[in-house]
Amino acid sequence: MGSSGSSNKPKLGFLAGAIQLQVPIINSREDIDRQLKVITDTVKSMKSGYPGLELIIFPEYSLQGLNTKKWTTEEFICDIPGKESDAMADACKEAGVYGVFSIMERNPDPNKNPYNTAIIIDPNGEIILKYRKVFPWNPIEPWAPGNEGIPVCDGPGGSKLAVCICHDGMFPELAREAAYKGCNVYIRISGYSTIVNEQWKLTNAANAWHNLMYSISVNLAGYDNTFYYFGEGQVCNYDGTTLVQGDRNPNEIITAEIFPVLADNARKSWGLENNIYNLGARGYVAEPGGEKTTHFTYINDLANGTYKLPWDDEIEIKDGTIYGYPKEGGRF
């Protein structure tokens, strides 16, 4: 099902590595440039130390940090492609690995806020997936909500990769969407502080189990003079069990052997607990082929743009004013 870590490539599947990067303190463009070198050097050193690595994963905010006073200023925002993604691509090509990176991306619409974006780069140095965070962490984050869905791409060892970012992992709907599109290795990159440490571990396991796929998750670690970030990289098996669990150490590296063929086999051969199939084939023992229609009100309401909770009018916080953002939202 997987190992507690290794340094060499398995005969089947692939070896993944995730680093609980020390949270960077970023106050200027020069700080971003220095941090970019830290990231690209880390790609090369991880590959050197773990020769079998085929996938290297960095947490959210690894490049631009969490300086909320400058988050959306021009000097802090990057383009994709741009010099930052080009440097990451060069590092992946030199090391011969897939890499997952976090970049706060300029919005093509100058009147709208930037995106919180993740990219996957292949060993040829090509960007093969770009994902924009669907659920920015309200009411703290000012990022525009992602508008390109949940893309899936081919990865090493027969994997189909998808990425979610931090708070996205709290929504089972996103993990299910990724799985529905074929993902068998779900990557979660985060910059969470300690307030949701236990929920992080619970949802990583649940996302894997509900969808019969591996999940690989990694968080920033350390202190940035405001918050403490808990690290705790985690790899979960497709049955929801935790294969690897990191500690709270900054720059700790976790590795795990991943066997996508086993997740694929479970999806195709399991009868009991094949819930991702059963969702669209209810009661197939009683009704050949199963019931295909849905009676879930929230799904229909989401599709129709009419989603509203019974207590919607009583919700007290619906904007970012408690963090100093304008009530009307928009670019600032």
Is the pLDDT score of 4 beyond 80?
A: no
Strands, E assignment, the chain: 14-20, 53-57, 98-105, 115-121, 127-132, 153-154, 160-165, 185-190, 214-219, 221-223, 228-230, 234-236, 242-245, 252-258
CA atoms within 13 A on the CB side of 279: 12
Dist CA 123 CA 270 (whole Å): 34
The DSSP call for residue 224 is: -
Q: What is the 3-class SS of 51-72, one letter each residue?
A: CCEEEEECCCCCCCCCCCCCCC
Is the pLDDT score of 91 beyond 50?
A: yes
Dist CA 121 CA 128 (whole Å): 6
Structural domains of the chain ordered from first start: 14-272 (3.60.110.10)
Q: Give residue for tokens 């300086």.
A: 67
Give me 288's structure tokens.
């050949």
Q: What average pLDDT does range 211-227 have in this prediction? A: 96
Residue pLDDT, tens place only, 39-62? 999 999 999 999 999 999 999 999
Q: Give residue for tokens 């690897």.
A: 244
Residue pLDDT, tens place only, 295-319? 899 999 999 999 999 999 999 999 9
Is the pLDDT score of 1 beyond 60?
A: no
Round to the nearest angstrom and report the end-to-end CA distance of the chain. 48
Question: Between β-strands 252-258 and 242-245, what pairing exists: parallel, antiparallel or unpaired?
Answer: unpaired
Residue with more model confidence, 241 or 70: 241
119 close to 127: Cβ distance less than 8 angstroms: yes
* Number of continuous H segments (helices) and E segments (strands) in the chain: 7, 14
Options 78, 153, 164, 166, the catalytic residue: 166
The DSSP call for residue 291 is: B
Give me 43's structure tokens.
């790609």
Q: Helices 197-211 and 172-180 meet at what angle, rounded to 10?
A: 30
- pLDDT score recorded for residue 168: 98
Largest CA distance in the chain: 65
- pLDDT score recorded for residue 182: 98
Q: What percent of the chain has pLDDT over 90?
A: 88
Residue pLDDT, tens place only, 264-282? 999 999 999 999 999 999 9
Q: What average pLDDT does range 179-194 have in this prediction? A: 96
30 assigned to active site: no
Options 47, 54, 60, 130, the catalytic residue: 60
60 assigned to active site: yes
Compute the chain's Rg from CA coordinates: 20
Closest C-alpha among 108, 171, 100 to residue 135: 171
- pLDDT score recorded for residue 5: 65
Residue pLDDT, tens place only, 122-163? 999 999 999 999 999 999 999 999 999 999 999 999 999 999
41 close to 19: Cβ distance less than 8 angstroms: no
Dist CA 141 CA 192 (whole Å): 12
Residue with more model confidence, 170 or 331: 170
Confidence category of residue 2, pLDDT binned at 50, 70, 90: very low
Dist CA 210 CA 207 (whole Å): 6
Q: Give residue for tokens 């997987």.
A: 2
267 close to 179: Cβ distance less than 8 angstroms: no
